[in-house]
Structure 1
Amino acid sequence: MPVTSVTRDPEALTMTVVADFAAPLERLWDAYTDPRQIERFWGPPAYPAQFTRHDAAPGGRSVYSMTGPDGETYHGLWEWESVQPRHSFDVRDRFAHADGSPNSDLPTVRMRFTFEGTDAGSRVTTVSQFDSLDELEKLLEMGMDEGMREAMGQIDAILDDLSSFAAGRATSTAILSDTKVRISRVIRGPIEEVWRAHIDVSLLRQWMLGPDGWTMPVCEVAEVVGESYRYEWEEAGNDENRFGFEGELLESAPPHRMVTTERMIGMPGDGTVNEMTLAAVEGGTLMTLVITYPSVELRDMVLGTGMTDGMESSYQRLERDVLATAIA
């Protein structure tokens, strides 16, 4: 069991959990900041978690749910207050409604996660700060202590899973619900350069091309929230084979988060909402793209086009042709 101590301090209104792992500090940090990994242990074994948003940056937000053995679902969110990469982060952990909005009827816990290397590997110390003794006792009665022990007992297996997360960088797709899909890719390059590659017209035209043999004759970028963008691609030597997307920039928090709408040009009906999050991880920048579709039918139709393969070709081109200098 990785948890080595649990200390409650009723006077300071805190609970401190210390856990040690036989893994490098970078791997432990990434387990908490990568939504694909944290959702494998944040909920106790009988209540697996699913993260539909996970912004490892000040001012960011994480939205998650935990589903029990009888199908009951509990919702929560983190409000990120501060981040010192590979050292610590502070969040407000709150109960939430199904739509991700805070549930103010239940207690809020301020949590500081501190990471450090040890002779045997690494350690995370989690200090939970409560607003009152009543709230501390209420959450302990709800099983917070035991839940954290059980959840953290799952981390060792994730830290050992190097093939899925540390070694593999290919674009992966996870279906989160009937309408939500998460695309993930570790891009070899610093987060600032990866962000710039997504907003600079001259760079976008170099890499966001999908399979070989296509060009991007139209690349109009939205620079300010509320502005529209338009991208069009054309098969080289065949100007009749052309398609494009357009939409609006809804949120922008450089270099961590960008939210846009997206509609295929000429296609009737509602489009998608695309939430892109960038986080610095071991080996580069983790790009997470959560796409919300208006229907399961459109979701399946788009996934059936080979979208993930086209995105992987583009990300390989991004690393090779745009980020090569930054990587070196």
Structure 2
Amino acid sequence: MPVTSVEKDPENLTMTIVADFPVPISRLWDAYADPRQIEKFWGPPTYPATFTRHDLYPGGRSEYYMTGPEGDRSAGYWEYLAVEKGHSFEVLDGFAGEDGQPNEQMPSMRMVFTFEETAEGSRLTTITYFNSAEELEQLLEMGMEEGTRAAMAQIDDVLTDLRSFAADRATEAQLLSDTQVRVSRVIRGTPQQVWDAHHAPELLQRWLLGPDGWQFTNCQVATEAGQTYRYAWADANGENGFALTGEVRESQPPHREVTTEAMEGIDGPPTLNEQTLTPVEGGTLLSLVITYDSKELRDTVLATGMTEGMEISYSRLEKVLAA
């Protein structure tokens, strides 16, 4: 078990948990930075977590829920107060309601995660700061210490699973709910480079092409919230054209962008696309959460070979960045 000590200090309203791991700091950090990995251990074994948002940068936000054996859910969120890549991050940790908004009836707390190198590998020290002795006691009675121990006992399996999260893995799609899919791919490049490649027309037209031989016929890029974009393509003969259009809802370069997306000429509500770029070992983790209007639409789009098509484009993107 990685937890080596738990110290509760009612006088200073803190609880300090120390855990040691036989891996480098970078590997441990990535386990917390990657939503695919942290959701494998953030919740206890009987209450696994699903992260629908995970923005590890100052001012960013994470949103997750834990699902119990009877299908019951408990939601939470993090607001990032400070981040020092590879060394520490500080969050405001709180409970959330079914709508994802903070549950004001439940206490929130400040948590500081510090990563250090040791002779055997790395150490994670987590200090939780409570607002009052009553809140500390309330959360301990709810099983916070036991739940944390049980959750962290799962980290070792994640840390040894190098292949599932390696930089040379192809694009993968993970079902988060009946209407949400998370697409993940590590791109060899910095977040700024990947961001620029999504917003500079001269770069975008070199990689976002789909099958070989296809070409852009229109590339109107949006870079700020409220702006609209339009991308249109045709095959090598200039035929079978189609276009995607949408609007930028949020823009926080070079980390997060939220857009809508719809196929031109097709009736129906657009998807909501939430893209986050996070630096990890080997490059930048591109995490794209797509929300569809229905399960049927989600399944129809996935059945078209969407994931495979995205891998072709992302592979081409890496070549553009390398050049």
TM-score bin (small chain): over 0.9
Is the aligned partner of 1:253 residue 2:249? no
The Cα shift of 1:308 comes to 0.7
The alpha-carbon distance between structure 1 residues 167 and 225, as it changes in their structure 2 partners (threshold 3 A), is: closer
Contact persistence 2:167–2:188 (CA under 8 A) = no
Structure 1 stretches (4+) deviating beyond 2 angstroms? 166-169
Task: Find out whether 1:186 has 2:190 as its counterpart.
Answer: no
- Residue in structure 1 matched with residue 13 of structure 2 by the alignment: 13
Q: SS of 2:211's equivalent?
A: coil
- 1-side partners of 2:27 and 2:166: how far apart? 8
**Counterpart residue type for residue 255 of structure 1:** P
Q: Is the 8 A contact 1:209 1:216 kept in 2?
A: yes
Which position in structure 2 is the counterpart of 1:121? Answer: 121
- Per-residue CA distance 1:139-185 (angstroms, 9 max, x = gap): 00000011111100000000000110125421000011110000000
| Aligned mates of 1:75, 1:224 — CA distance in 2 | 31
- Count of paired positions: 323
1:121-144 per-residue CA deviation (whole Å, 9 max, x = no partner) reads: 111100000011100110000000
- 1:208 paired residue number: 208
1:167/1:231 Cα in 2 relative to 1: closer, same or farther (>3 Å)? closer
Does the aligned pair in 2 maintain the 1:18–1:123 contact within 8 Å?
Answer: yes
One-letter code of the match for 1:220? Answer: Q
Letter in 2 for 1:68: G
2:322 is aligned to: 324
Deviation at 1:75, TM superposition (A): 0.6
Contact residue 274 and residue 288 of structure 2 kept, 8 A: yes
- Distance in structure 1 (CA, Å) of the matches to 2:172 and 2:318: 17
1:240 is paired with a residue of what secondary structure? coil
SS of structure 1 residue aligned to 2:199: coil
In the alignment, residue 280 of structure 1 is paired with which amino acid? P
Partner Cα separation in structure 2 for residue 92 and residue 211 of structure 1: 44
Residues 194-250 of structure 1, C-alpha deviation per residue, up to 9 Å, x if partnerless?
Answer: 11111111100001111211111211011221111000111112x221111001000
Query: Which structure 2 residues correspond to residues 130-145 of structure 1 after superposition, within 5 A?
Result: 130-145=130-145
Name the counterpart of 1:292.
291
- Name the counterpart of 1:312: 311
Amino acid at match of 2:290: I
Give secondary structure in 1 for the equivalent of 2:69.
Answer: coil
- What is the identity, as a one-letter code, of the residue corresponding to 1:17? I
After TM superposition, list the pairs within 5 Å mapping 1:25-64 onto structure 2: 25-64=25-64
Q: Provide the C-alpha distance between the structure 1 equivalents of 2:137 and 2:21, rounded to a whole number of angstroms.
A: 29
In 1, are the aligned partners of 2:225 and 2:250 still within 8 Å (CA)? Answer: yes
Asked if the contact 2:167–2:283 (Cα under 8 Å) also holds between the matched residues in 1, the reply is no
Q: 2:186 aligns to what SS in structure 1?
A: strand
Within the alignment, does 1:262 sit opposite 2:257 as a pair? no
Structure 2 counterpart of 1:33, which letter? A
* Map of 1:81 onto structure 2: 81
**Secondary structure of 2:51's match?**
strand
* SS of residue in 1 equivalent to 2:92: strand
The residue type equivalent to 1:97 in the other structure is G
- Counterpart secondary structure, 1:262: strand
- Between the aligned partners of 1:240 and 1:187, the Cα distance in structure 2 is 31
Equivalent-residue separation in structure 2 for 1:17 and 1:187 (angstroms): 34
- Match of 2:170? 170
- Deviation, 1:268, is 0.5
In structure 1, distance between residues paired with 2:85 and 2:280: 9
The one-letter code matched in structure 2 to 1:323 is L
Q: For the residues of structure 2 that align with 1:189 and 1:227, how far apart are their CA atoms? A: 26
Query: Counterpart of 2:217 in structure 1: which amino acid?
Result: P
Q: How far apart, in 2, do the equivalents of 1:300 and 1:308 lie?
A: 12
In 2, the alpha carbon distance for the partners of 1:99 and 1:33 equals 24
Aligned-pair CA distance for 1:86? 0.3
Matched residue, 2:270? 271
Residue type at the aligned position of 1:243 = F
Distance of 1:71 and 1:307 partners within structure 2: 30
Q: What does residue 195 of structure 1 align with?
A: 195
Unaligned runs of 5+ in 1: none
Counterpart amino acid of residue 300 in structure 2: M
Q: Is the 8 A contact 2:167 2:282 kept in 1?
A: no
Q: How much does 1:119 deviate?
A: 1.1
1:63 Cα offset (Å): 0.7
CA distance in 2 between partners of 1:216 and 1:91 (Å): 43
Q: 1:270-289 deviations in whole A, cap 9, x for unaligned?
A: 01000000000000000000
Q: Is the contact made by 1:169 and 1:187 (CA closer than 8 Å) also made in structure 2?
A: no
- Residue number in structure 1 paired with 2:71: 71
SS state at 1:198 partner: helix
In structure 2, give the amino acid aligned to 1:267. I
Matches of 1:218 and 1:141, distance apart in 2: 60
Secondary structure, aligned partner of 2:46: coil
Which consecutive residues of structure 2, in runs of 5 or more, have no partner in the other structure? none
Q: Distance in 2 between matches of 1:291 and 1:142?
A: 34
